[in-house]
Structure 1
Amino acid sequence: MIIHLALDGVAESSLCVGIDIVGSAARLASDRVADAPRSAKLLRQRVVSLDGHPVRSGAGRTVAVDGALSLRGIGTSDVLVVPGWFAATGASIEGLLSRDETQRGAVALKRAAAKGAMLAASCSATFLLAATGVLDGQRATTAWWLAAAFARRFPAVSLAVDRMVVEAPRVLTAGSAFAHADLMLAVIARIAGPSLAQGVARYLVLDSRPSQSRYMVMEHLRVSDPALQKVERFIIDNLDRQITLDELARVAAVSSRTLARRMHAGLGMTPHELVQRLRVSHATHLLETTSASVDEVAARVGYADPAAFRRVFRRLAGDSPRGMRTRSTEAQHGI
């Protein structure tokens, strides 16, 4: 069974899309439109709260539930899914995590994991999942604008913030709110097979989006640390050449180790990752606004090897440079 745990402040879009995806999967399986052996029982679903009472969504609306979360009988065939709240800042997520309901939810999730249930969460709810300790030593993702706060609070978790969905043993995490659709497709694929998940995606016209990097706005990640601001400006001014860690440390007037530590605390990434993200961000701008070839764009953002540029671009942007340009052209012409 798939159990959606709704907490006060839940994003209605995430909760509802999760319900619809599971419902669609169950109907496709029962109508034999997609090959999904033994999936009927696994695709039953319930929406619960911790106490069985309705919850208030982030939009201030009352959300009805089917009952209270019960861990009696929960086991390895069950999935406990937590759709996120909307949290725009690290301070807002701290406030959500300090609530009594959130702390009780973390305890319940930890107990469910101990009984063998699969856990899944998206957006800010990934913080709740990490608070249980089940992500320690594992890879995970979260909403891109909360990456720095996540990295500071949970240093034992290997954060892959560029990914839309990250799968680890018995636990799945997804990025921002609409990535909940990607999360639920991954859940369906895990418990009922990829064929059914692909069928649901086709019927609901859901595109594959392996990365959330294209949605990252570097300006949003800027912090008040003057040293990091100087480093960012230096990188932007020197994108067309190789940049060393020692150079960045000199710009920040700190040691290389101190720069790495402050960058991790402020941005949730290493100096090398920041350089790559800024290169890809500028490359995307060039691909969308100029007719320069991919090789020319690669050179203008500091890559002597176009193949290496393509690999980094695909990893961070979730698409090839040529694919990014094609989509941008189609959007401009309303195709």
Structure 2
Amino acid sequence: MRIGVVAIPGTFDSAFTSVLDILRVAEMLRPSVDRDIPPLETTVVGLRPSVRTAGGLIVEADRALDDGLDDYDVLVVPALGALSAPAVEDALALPEIRRLRAVLHDSPEAELPRLAGACTGTFLLAEAGRLDGVTAATSWWLSETFRRRYPKVDLDTSRMVVRSSSVLTAGAAFAHIDLAVSLVAETSPRLAETVVHHLLIDERPARSMEAVHAHLAVTDTLVTRLEDEVRRRISDDLSVTDLADALGVTRRTLERHVRLRTGATPNQLVRRLRAERAKHLRRTTDLSMDQIAHRVGYANAVTLRRLLASTT
């Protein structure tokens, strides 16, 4: 997964750095968990060559926004560094923020990566019209302002992280941690669990009950065991019933755990893991599409191309 993290001028230091730290730790741990897990490539996307955070940290960009967004699978917009409605509105009026808003608003949806935002960063996504018609989260103390400004967004303040097909949003400042863990978990629940334990994320005090439930879902051992089983037998003809039998649970139990953890069915999770393995093989080997198709459980390249097109 190729992830661009936007360096927002004046952002809260922890909001920006926590996302980078979690994603980079995940990549450091990935080979020890499973080398076949697709790499997490993290890039700092600059609105300027360098920006200063709220605490005075100078962040140098790896790439400029003007270089385009085609190379990213996900673009993360962290907090704007504002704690009140007037401060958020002032931040949205900054020239750099208006330029980012214009890029996100004017680009055809097919040319944009998946978008992710946390805390007041969700205001920028909404300002660009990218949250219209979907359910999203934001900082709870700004919910009235958010609803007034963006009536087309279905705001949900009861959840820490809200997923939709094209965007991933999270609530207040420390929800950046949950946002980053969720991105890792989309690549590999097992890797996310390892990151959580290494960084002692589960020891954070005073989390909401929703965050507790989200964390329990991330560390659901049945789902990580399923991931291991699928990766081990990825070239086989896999059915949900066979997988449930191999894990010693009923099909219904397996489906419930997978849906709670990922929002998908077991079959959808299997397809995602097959697609990830295929993309990894395309980047790292000289195998033909037909050869890759056989290695990930498909009969031919035509079927594989359909899978990859549907998961892009």
Do they superpose with TM above 0.5?
yes
| Residues 116, 38 of structure 1: alpha-carbon distance in 2 compared, 3 angstrom cutoff | farther
Q: Say whether 1:88 aligns with 2:83.
A: yes
Which residue in 2 is equivalent to 1:188? 184
Cα-to-partner distance string for 1:218-247 (whole Å, 9 max, x where unaligned): xxxxxxxxxxxxxxxxxxxxxxxxxxxxxx
Cα-to-partner distance string for 1:129-174 (whole Å, 9 max, x where unaligned): 1111111110000011111111110011011112111111121011
Residue ranges of structure 2 left out of the alignment (5+ in a row):
211-312
How do 1:36-55 and structure 2 match up within 5 A? 37-40=36-39, 43-51=40-48, 53-55=49-51
The answer on whether the counterparts of 2:136 and 2:162 sit within 8 Å (CA) in structure 1 is yes
**Cα displacement (A) at 1:64:** 2.1
Which residue in 2 is equivalent to 1:11? 12
Code of the aligned partner of 2:26: A
**Cα displacement (A) at 1:207:** 2.3
Distance in 2, matches of 1:127 and 1:187, equals 20
Which residue in 2 is equivalent to 1:160? 156
Of the candidates 155, 166, 169, which is equivalent to residue 170 of structure 1? 166
Identity %: 39
Cα-to-partner distance string for 1:229-275 (whole Å, 9 max, x where unaligned): xxxxxxxxxxxxxxxxxxxxxxxxxxxxxxxxxxxxxxxxxxxxxxx
Instruction: For residue 202 of structure 2, give the secondary structure of its aligned residue in structure 1.
Output: coil
Distance in 2, matches of 1:73 and 1:67, equals 10
| Residues 107, 67 of structure 1: alpha-carbon distance in 2 compared, 3 angstrom cutoff | same
The answer on whether the counterparts of 1:119 and 1:170 sit within 8 Å (CA) in structure 2 is yes
**Cα displacement (A) at 1:73:** 6.4
Distance in 2, matches of 1:25 and 1:112, equals 31
Which residue in 1 is equivalent to 2:262? none
Distance in 2, matches of 1:24 and 1:61, equals 20
| Residues 202, 159 of structure 1: alpha-carbon distance in 2 compared, 3 angstrom cutoff | same
Which residue in 1 is equivalent to 2:252? none
Distance in 2, matches of 1:73 and 1:176, equals 26
Distance in 1, matches of 2:121 and 2:87, equals 13
Distance in 2, matches of 1:208 and 1:147, equals 28
| Residues 181, 22 of structure 1: alpha-carbon distance in 2 compared, 3 angstrom cutoff | same
Q: Say whether 1:141 aligns with 2:141.
A: no
Which residue in 2 is equivalent to 1:130? 126
Computed over aligned residues only, the root mean square deviation of the Cα atoms, in angstroms, reads 2.4
Residue ranges of structure 1 left out of the alignment (5+ in a row):
216-335
Code of the aligned partner of 2:150: F
The answer on whether the counterparts of 1:3 and 1:46 sit within 8 Å (CA) in structure 2 is yes
**Cα displacement (A) at 1:124:** 0.6
TM-score by length of 2: 0.61
Distance in 1, matches of 2:62 and 2:130, equals 27
Code of the aligned partner of 1:96: A
How do 1:1-335 and structure 2 match up within 5 A? 1-31=2-32, 33=33, 35=34, 37-40=36-39, 43-51=40-48, 53-70=49-66, 72=68, 74=70, 78-110=73-105, 111=107, 113-190=109-186, 192-207=187-202
Distance in 2, matches of 1:140 and 1:164, equals 10
Task: Flag the structure with larger Rg.
Answer: 1
Instruction: For residue 138 of structure 2, give the secondary structure of its aligned residue in structure 1.
Output: coil
Instruction: For residue 159 of structure 2, give the secondary structure of its aligned residue in structure 1.
Output: coil
The answer on whether the counterparts of 1:163 and 1:212 sit within 8 Å (CA) in structure 2 is no
Number of aligned residue pairs: give it: 207
Which residue in 2 is equivalent to 1:298? none
**Cα displacement (A) at 1:37:** 3.1
Instruction: For residue 2 of structure 1, give the secondary structure of its aligned residue in structure 2.
Output: strand
Code of the aligned partner of 1:174: A
Instruction: For residue 22 of structure 1, give the secondary structure of its aligned residue in structure 2.
Output: helix
TM-score by length of 1: 0.57
